[in-house]
Amino acid sequence: MESLDLPLIWAGLICFAIFAYVVLDGFDLGVGILSPVLEPGIERDQAINSIAPFWDGNETWLVMGGGGLLAVFPLAYSIILPATYPLMIAMLLGLVFRGAAFEFRWRDPAHQPLWDLVINVGSTVAALAQGITIGAILQGIKVENNAYAGGWLDWLSPFSVLTGMAVVIGYALLGATWLIRKTEGGCQRHAHRLAYWLAIATVLALLAVSAATPFLNNEYWRRWFTMPQVLWTAQVPLMVAVCTAVLFWSLRKGRELLPFLMALALFLLGFIGLCISIYPNMIPPSITLWEAAAPRDSQLFLLVGAVFIIPVILGYTGWAYWVFRGKVGTEGYH
């Protein structure tokens, strides 16, 4: 046990939880973002029903990632949270109102347009806040004496707004490709048309963020472009090109599952790129994983719990997706 690099193991687990959240909650936020452009009635009902059994369970991974950060990297938590308070508040309010709107949409059909609007606004605000948070962390957080030393709006910059918009567009692509897989008829055809244009927008947004990131910090440039690291990091844009080509090919051929998988692959590659840029820092540019970590005994104790909890979460999540596999109808899920 003494030889285990517990901060690195925990960083991997938290990254896994965050990516699982992006994968699972990303597509249902995307469906909410797209809801205004779907026809009221059959199209919109199918879209909402396709995520109704999953949206609340998907957010388990957000709790896992945030709780893990607090427990295992308390210094990072105590700095990142004050640096992004407005974003965290906006995200949580968006998720809360969105969750309530899911319930009221079927309970109160007389005001269904209102609840559809709340779902859209809540989904968009949550996605935008998450993307801006990524940009705020990437551009660096001002720290003095192991405490946040910046201002209330230090997170706001052209780069963080760019990352925020990129996440909104990317989630919309996940939502469109999910609808291709889960719906049929007019809703599926509409989602297919949307997915094509959203794929173009997502790739352009990914390229813009990737081009801007190395100029934020000299260390980012070094990690991406100096030898011998470049031999490894160059594989990421190459894989992005391959996944992009397969995505457009699958959309042209009318595939149902492959576009969704390729959209997820683009998110995975973007996430890998983020990790390459900031590692070994937990809070760029100055606090590393090891400096931010809790005492070793605490990490080890929590790791034992995680070994049991994570498989349980994976098990019931997989079971839910298995039970509700296949196409959806238009009837309410209550």
pLDDT tens-digit series, residues 245-285: 999 999 999 888 899 999 999 999 999 988 888 888 888 88
Per-residue pLDDT at 1 exceeds 60 = no
HEC states along 30-71? HHHHHHHHCCCCHHHHHHHHHHCCCHHHHCHHHHHHHHHHHH
pLDDT tens-digit series, residues 297-322: 888 888 888 888 889 888 888 888 88
pLDDT at site 144: 86
Mean pLDDT calculated for residue range 6-33: 88
**What is the percentage of the chain residues whose pLDDT exceeds 90?**
35
pTM: 0.91
Per-residue pLDDT at 81 exceeds 80 = yes
What confidence tier does 123 reach under pLDDT thresholds 50, 70, 90? very high
Per-residue pLDDT at 155 exceeds 70 = yes
Query: How far apart are the C-alpha atoms of 96 and 98, rounded to whole Å?
Result: 5
Mean pLDDT calculated for residue range 65-90: 89
**What is the percentage of the chain residues whose pLDDT exceeds 70?**
97
Buried b (16+ CB within 10 A) or exposed e, 268-292: ebbbbbbebbbeebbbbbebebebb
Residues 6 or more apart whose Cβ sits within 8 Å of residue 25: 55, 58, 59, 61, 62
Percent helix, percent strand, percent coil in the chain, to nearest 5: 80, 5, 20
pLDDT at site 3: 64
CA dihedral 185, 187, 191, 192 (to 10 degrees): 10
For residue 79 the two structure tokens come to: 């700095």
What single string gives the DSSP state of each residue in 165-176? HHHHHHHHHHHH
Mean pLDDT calculated for residue range 95-100: 89
Query: How far apart are the C-alpha atoms of 22 and 260, rounded to whole Å?
Result: 13
**Please, what is the average pLDDT of the chain?**
87
Per-residue pLDDT at 150 exceeds 90 = no
Mean pLDDT calculated for residue range 79-96: 92
Taking a C-beta distance cutoff of 8 angstroms, is the pair 172, 30 a contact? yes
Query: How far apart are the C-alpha atoms of 22 and 174, rounded to whole Å?
Result: 10
Per-residue pLDDT at 243 exceeds 60 = yes
Would strands 287-288 and 281-283 be described as parallel, antiparallel, or unpaired? antiparallel
Per-residue pLDDT at 220 exceeds 80 = yes
Per-residue pLDDT at 164 exceeds 90 = yes
Q: Any idea which of 168-172, 247-251, 315-319, 326-330 has the lowest mean pLDDT?
A: 326-330
Query: How far apart are the C-alpha atoms of 146 and 85, rounded to whole Å?
Result: 18
What confidence tier does 330 reach under pLDDT thresholds 50, 70, 90? low
What confidence tier does 43 reach under pLDDT thresholds 50, 70, 90? confident
Residue 103 corresponds to which amino acid?
E
CA 102 to chain centre: 20
Residue 7 corresponds to which amino acid?
P
pLDDT at site 331: 56
Per-residue pLDDT at 55 exceeds 80 = no
pLDDT at site 321: 83
Task: Please state whether the peptide bond connecting residue 228 to the residue before it is cis, i.e. omega within 30 degrees of 0.
Answer: yes
Query: How far apart are the C-alpha atoms of 328 and 148, rounded to whole Å?
Result: 47
Per-residue pLDDT at 56 exceeds 80 = no
pLDDT at site 249: 95
The residue ranking higher by pLDDT, 106 or 261, is 261
